[in-house]
Structure 1
Amino acid sequence: MWVSILSVVLLSYVLLRLSPAVIKAIGQNGLTVMTRLMGFLVMAISVQFILSGITQYFQIAI
Structure 2
Amino acid sequence: MFEKIVDQAIDFACRGYAVRITGPAGSGKTTVFQGVTDELQRRRLTVHRVTALRTQTAVPFSGVLA
| Greater RCO, CA 8 A, separation 6+ | 2
Shared fold, TM over 0.5: no
> Which one has a larger percent helix, Structure 1 or Structure 2?
1
Looking at CA atoms only, which structure, 1 or 2, has the larger radius of gyration?
A: 1
TM-score (norm 2): 0.29
TM-score (norm 1): 0.30
